[in-house]
Amino acid sequence: MTGSEHVTADVFAALASPVRRELTALLLSGPRSVNDLASHFEMSRPSVSEHLRVLRDAGLVSEERSGRRRLYRLEAEPLMEVSRWLSPYERFWRDRLAGLRELLNEDGDDHEH
């Protein structure tokens, strides 16, 4: 497995959890504290911290300490790598949908005559 494939696999594994996907969505608006993030879930703060650790280990978030507070920030690079990895598949599905559209248009023309 190449370096970027390893990073992509780590990102997919980290994002497999709905809780971690929700955490990344919450961080889209900017850095947040653990307590702020934990207030969105019905789980203990240590459990939220564990999910944040998984995201941090995958490079999806960074942690900054400010006194006793820890702020988490979303990091874009791993998501950009996933986007680059998905790009050929997006083109594949666009081509498939274009073919389906053409087929449906041809079928619709047959019914008009």
- We report the CATH number of the domain holding residue 48 as 1.10.10.10
Asked if pLDDT for residue 109 goes beyond 90, the answer is no
Read off the pLDDT of residues 8-39 as tens digits, 9 standing for 90 and up.
788 999 999 999 999 999 999 999 999 999 99
Q: Which domain holds residue 56?
A: 3-112
pLDDT of residue 87: 83
* 85 compared with 61, residue with greater pLDDT: 61
Please state whether the predicted TM-score (pTM) of the whole model is above 0.95: no
* Measured CA distances, 113 to 11, 39, 104, 105 (Å): 53, 62, 15, 13
φ and ψ at 66, to 5 degrees? Answer: -130, 95
* 102 compared with 26, residue with greater pLDDT: 26
Into how many domains does the chain fold?
1
Q: What is the mean pLDDT of residues 60-84?
A: 89
